[in-house]
Amino acid sequence: MLPNTGRLAGCTVFITGASRGIGKAIALKAAKDGANIVIAAKTAQPHPKLLGTIYTAAEEIEAVGGKALPCIVDVRDEQQISDAVQKAVKKFGAYTIAKYGMSMYVLGMAEEFKGEIAVNALWPKTAIHTAATEMLGGPGIESQCRKVDIIADAAYSIFQKPKSFTGNFVIDENILKAEGIQNFDIYAIKPGHPLQPDFFLDEYPEAVSKKMESTGAVPEFKEEKPQPQPKPRSGAVEKTFRIVKDSLSDDIVKATQAIYLFELSGEDGGTWFLDLKSKGGNVGYGEPSDQADVVMSMSTDDFVKMFSGKLKPTMAFMSGKLKIKGNMALAIKLEKLMNQMNARL
């Protein structure tokens, strides 16, 4: 287990879902340093199947040396989030660390708040035993899981890093290896039993593990010299862009307001663009009429997989299959359009 250092004493940590499971484990780890914990969760009354409320969690937090502020928060309700933040500021002065459930948003927020707030994503390498896992996996699933303690220790490690550590997709086991942890059986529910890979990392586990060996994948913004492009040929890429074009509308253009350039390698590759600024939108081979806001580089095979829903953009980025240059917030907007394309590709 990663030992507590006391460095979070006086820090305020805003944690969603902190009434039980992973959220509560992170809260208790930080509380042992003397941190202030904002428990932002929906459960105020005891649940018939799930143990714990924001109030019982508050009692546990204060019992180990932390200060607690229980707040009823449904993360889908912006006003409840705002109210909880205001309560935190009023009681603790400010909050310095937050835990939310995020993925691609990490990239945009890390770029937007660079130098001010560090934004990172933390993923478990294996399934984690929680009440939710028990309900979804059924009897016996716990033997294939690790304890919530591994996520708490990994989050604690991230909390102690400087603001320059931002925009990372961190895997729990890898960051703890960097901290010197070698025996991971201490985190297993049943030491020695085969572990279930995490549901979101089972597509490219080896590639992700390599990429994250030290602390995680950091977005790269490198300028590359343009290469001569072959003439486009009819094929999967052309078909994909044709379907995208047929799906465009003024509403999509109005909601996106961005031009995307795709530098594709492999068969049917070359430079393609998706213009979601011009009226009605447009796609085509070659350079767009105006400067691109986002440049995405990848193979043609991965491009088709990504637009058809067979390859998650987050996983493509983490495994090095996708490189992004430009406005990361606009890159995230494209993911929503991809989701609309999936059913037709």
Query: Amino acid identity, residue 327?
Result: N
235/307 Cα distance (integer angstroms): 15
**Residue 46 backbone class (left: φ over 0; alpha: ψ -120 to 50; beta: rest):** beta
Residue of 55, 95, 105, 285 with catalytic role: 95
Tell me the C-alpha to C-alpha distance, in Å, between residue 296 and each of 32, 234, 274, 316. 43, 21, 11, 11
Q: What are phi and psi of 341, to 5 degrees?
A: -75, -30
Do the beta carbons of residue 150 and residue 102 sit within 8 Å? no
Do the beta carbons of residue 270 and residue 235 sit within 8 Å? no
239/272 Cα distance (integer angstroms): 13
95 is catalytic: yes
CA angle 331, 252, 119 (to 5 degrees): 25
**Could you list the active site residues?**
95
